[in-house]
Each structure stands twice: as structure tokens, then as C-alpha cells.
Amino acid sequence: MATTLKQMMEAANAAVPKITPEKAREMIGKGNTLVVDVRDAPEVEKSGKIAGAVHVSRGMLEFRADPDSPYHDKNFAKDKTVILYCASGGRSALAAKALKDLGYAQVYNVGAFKDWAEAGGEIEKPIEPGM
């Protein structure tokens, strides 16, 4: 039987803890933490990203996170705490579940970028064209 998006979201939310921006800042402050923005490039270019975050669009996450992939990003390490976010929290929940499936143990979903920004989290603004 086919799986629905609703079922996938329920499984992701059950497998990956949702944390507040305040909790995320606390975890980042402890070090050995990777923050991943899984939004698409135009979204990041428009709004900026969490300071220090690595941008990996949702479609490339597994390729960047798997050490056996030719596209592996050295920022990804299974001994790190990984915090993901997107525009509303849906893609980051699914992405976080994928990382759990790949063997990442400490994975969290901080949800929406706007929630981080509204909570006073530090943001790297996009670079203006021509700068």
C-alpha cells in the first residue's frame, strides 16, 4: 500500500524532535553542531540564512550527507548534532528523518526560518547582486 504525505510527516515528526529557536541556540553554543538550511536557493537568496548554517537543498541532502557519495559534504559527520530548518518545518522534518535513516543519531528540527528570525536568532543576510 502506498504511503501518503501525511503518513510520512507523522513518521518524521515521531522520529525527530522539534526544538525551539532558544534550544537550538543553546545547542549551537555547545559546539560540534551543524545547522542545515534545506530550502531552495531562491528562498535563501531572498531572506538569508541562520548564521553559520550550511545550505543544502532538500533534493541534495542525502547525497551531501552520505560519506560514500561522490557529492559528500565534509561538514556532515555522524558524530555532530544536526539541526535542520526550512520555510515552514515540513521539508526539514522529512530531511531530518532521512538523516536518521542514514545513521545520524543527534538530529533535530527547528522548523521555520521565520520563527528563528522572529526569536532574534542571528542571520546572515544575502549578498546584494554586484557586491
pTM equals 0.93
Query: What range defines the domain where residue 94 resides?
Result: 15-102
Residues 6 or more apart in contact with residue 128 via CB below 8 angstroms = none
d(CA 21, CA 108): 11
Spatial separation of the C-alpha atoms in residues 52 and 124, rounded to whole Å? 8
- Per the structure, the count of domains in the chain is 1
Residue 130 included in any domain: no
**Kind and range of the H or E run holding 5:** helix 5-15
- pLDDT tens digits, residue range 9-28? 999 999 999 999 999 999 99
Please report which confidence band the pLDDT of residue 52 belongs to, taking 50, 70 and 90 as the band edges: very high
Residue 74 pLDDT more than 60?
A: yes
- Is residue 123 situated within a structural domain? no
Residue 64 in this model has a pLDDT that exceeds 60: yes
Closest by alpha carbon to 78, among 34, 127, 130, 30?
A: 34
Query: Residue 44 belongs to a domain with what CATH number?
Result: 3.40.250.10
